[in-house]
Amino acid sequence: MTQTPAHFAKDRSGVAATEFALLLPVLLLLFFGVVEGSDALAKSRRVSLAANTLADLAARERRLMEDAADDLFAGVEEIVDINGADLDIRLVSVIAGAGDADGDGVPDGDPVVHWSYDNRPGGGAPYAAGAAYTTVDVKALLEPDASIIVAEVDYTHASGFGGHVISAMDINRTAVRWPRRSLRIQLCKSATDCVD
């Protein structure tokens, strides 16, 4: 009790511990933010690679069997390494619509869906055949009587720390390829049941 307030003001014995206690939450936030940010970036790169790989492999076919498309989707899931999370994968063949705005007899209409196939059980058709395709602007890429293959991969990345550092984010990637071996790729349920 004989110490004066001036003596307490000069005492520096607990300053380092106090500073550490104040800085620890900030340092932990930075550390876990870097860890989560790098994980999200890696997942984004995997989704981009998966979309490009899917479009490239599908564009190599003349006739894409639905069973082969299912195998491609399984490969995409392996590339992304989703660990049971939801991953939406779609393959779409896009053609020029039947419109002939300039009257030259060549279809130059807006892009429409030729066929579509996704990774839902049993392989669904996310876009109706003949419907306008507006997800990706491919009008400048379309040639008369030819198609474009579009691969769409959507993934929701969830933080490993329960969203406390980085919240869940949607990663959506598309890739576009011209068919390599034919003007249009047919989607086939069997050897005799194909979309023209």
pLDDT at 14: 74
pLDDT at 162: 63
- Is residue 67 included in any domain, yes or no? yes
- Is residue 175 included in any domain, yes or no? yes
Whole-structure pTM value: 0.77
- Is residue 6 included in any domain, yes or no? no
Q: How many domains does the chain have?
A: 1
pLDDT at 150: 94
Please provide the average confidence, as pLDDT, over all residues in the chain.
Answer: 83
- Is residue 158 included in any domain, yes or no? yes
Whole-number Å distance between alpha carbons of 147 and 60:
13
pLDDT at 174: 93
Helix-, strand-, coil-residue percentages of the chain, each rounded to 5? 35, 25, 40
Question: Among 83, 72, 144, 152, which Cα is nearest to 108's?
Answer: 144
C-beta atoms surrounding 60 within 10 Å: 13
- Is residue 122 included in any domain, yes or no? yes
Q: Give the chain's residues under pLDDT 70.
A: 1-12, 82-85, 98-108, 122-123, 161-165, 196
- Is residue 3 included in any domain, yes or no? no
Residue whose structure tokens are 């899917």:
54
HSE-CB of 23 using CA atoms within 13 angstroms: 6
Residue-number span of the structural domain to which 167 is assigned: 14-194
Amino acid identity, residue 131? A
